[in-house]
Chain A
Amino acid sequence: MEATVANVLLTFLAVTAVGIIMLRDLLAAVILLGAYSLIAAGAFVVMDAVDVAFTEAAVGSGISTILFLGALSFTRHDQKPRPNHSWMALFLAVAAGGLLIYGTLDMPYYGSATSAAQTNPGLAVRFLEESGSEVGPPNIVTSVLASYRGYDTLGETMVVFAAGIAVLSILGLKRRRPGENAPLDAPGDKTTTLVVNSSADDGSIASPNEMKRYPRQRHRVLQVVTKLVIPFVLMFGLYVQFHGDYGPGGGFQAGVIFASGFILYGLIFGLQKTRAIMPPSALRILMCLGLLLYCGTGLLTMVLGGNLLDYNVLAHDALHGQHWGIFTVELGVGITVTGVMISLFYNFASKRSL
């Protein structure tokens, strides 16, 4: 039954991928990528990679679609039709694809008994049998991710951080930012200007409260539901962050879910109000703070006489040290990912609204 479900899901995945390639309309492709991500998460669940599925679920359900849409709003909605087909390009694509497929022939089949993981089970057995007494958390994935290969995860966090910096440097800093306390008539600060104009038209002076209210209340249902849902999203983000030792989850997923709460607010109430709640300067601090927390833990363990990210030295008891180390490191990951994701949303969504 499980194999059948996996096969059906993988078939869906292939069909969707082909469909996305065939579509000329990029907006439809973005919508279909949402379905692709959903199927991928389902397939990961069926293949027992629950933590991976969790990440795919957190990223694919909202953030990736939103980033694609943000990119689309900078460009055209249709793929540019090519007048003449380049046979050279076709040949190169087919050759490269063929080589890749040829390469996969060497890989073991799914669940194969002769794969390297089965014939040399030393590492897997070590993780499964000893991680409880060496590292502690019942979720072995967390042990491996945050402790055994904490250095690797440090690199991944840096990649996320670097992506945030790159997007900031390309999209965020190019236009001159009005700043958090910009003058009312700052160019580009359309909302404020419009509110001031409308209040001048009817001759009355708008009080600060009235300026914050929106004159035309549309999508009332969405606004109310959003306000109801956001606390639960943030709460669930915290749960995923701190429950990652025991169940699927951890810093990456928690950061994305936490950021999703803010992004939801931004979609419904506009970038202006979201930036008032979570100013970009705070995001830049968060991005750095998380990574510094991670690196700082590594440095601390070195100062205390261990190797980089060897948490055993953090406390009198090795398991306690591991617990503290994993807690701090995951917190660092969560903070950085939250900062980067919200910052990405700000930069991609701010085509006109700044």
Chain B
Amino acid sequence: MTETRTDATLTRTGRRGSRGPVNRDEVLLEIKDLRVTFQRRGGPATAAVDGVSFSVKPGEIVGVVGESGSGKSVTSMAVMGLLPQRGSKVTGEVLYRGENLLTMGQRQLADLRGSELAMVFQDPMSSLNPVIPVGLQVTEVLRRHQDISREDARVEAEDLLRRCGIPDPRRRLSEYPHQLSGGMRQRALIAIALACKPALLICDEPTTALDVTIQAQVLELLKELVNDLGTAMVMITHDLGVVAGLCDSVNVMYAGRIVEAAGRRELFAHPRHRYTEGLLNSIPRLDAPRGEPLQPIPGTPRDTIAWSKACAFAPRCLHADDECVVGDLPLVQLGRVNHPVRCVHPAPEEEPHG
């Protein structure tokens, strides 16, 4: 976590030499008022992401938490320019080092995507090319971004796989994706994402398909990366446990909008939005006393109202009343510093959680 450790690692591995020292105060990625609407043939337009803004600095892990339909994955796809052109409309700004990725040419974006931006998906099998050996997929990326020989690339790929926790990397290099286990594939995918030494890594549920012990390995690997290389990371997940252990700051999304944002300790100690509060109360905790019934959030994520008419969470909220029927509730600071909330009746500030 400290600068000295980072520098030592950087010098040792000789990475990132060309890009100069990492300035950890610079804003690397800034998302401003991102909106994504989908229009299906004949159907009405639906806003999947509805005015999302947040920023990421180097060496920082920003969490985006939400359930199905919250728009968290669509956000990441929009940032990477991976949404289908037909049927989707993206507005707002995604500034990467001050340049708007949304207005950038396809070619320029593709260049950037391979070199500075990388993404790790939930399903490693569909993101790896099944007919090309894993090693070749790693060396391909390495050689695209560096002017090195095939042999050098192979050595570096082997090193990369080893550092990603893949045992016997020399043998693995010549194997095909289907010969690897799920956890191994996910680590291979991370190795490919890291091959271009990205400045920004977007992880979309990278560990959801993995077993917990493998998840712990992968999360530890990602943590090291951020600490050692100063990579900025956006972590998209539904798992509050993962967020609690990994992220510096957290954005909670519901029905396409951020409903609460705070530093991780702040968020878990003082959840203000009723959705965040409800989530924390509804999940069984390994360390909680047993025998107490859980307090579920009623309804399903499908039971929403358009934000333009009222709070989208109101139909499931135990504290909802007529005042919640307000169009376009703002995300505002309520008392606590750096902790904006989009709620008419937020949880009282002093109420201790837990």
Co-complex (A, B): no
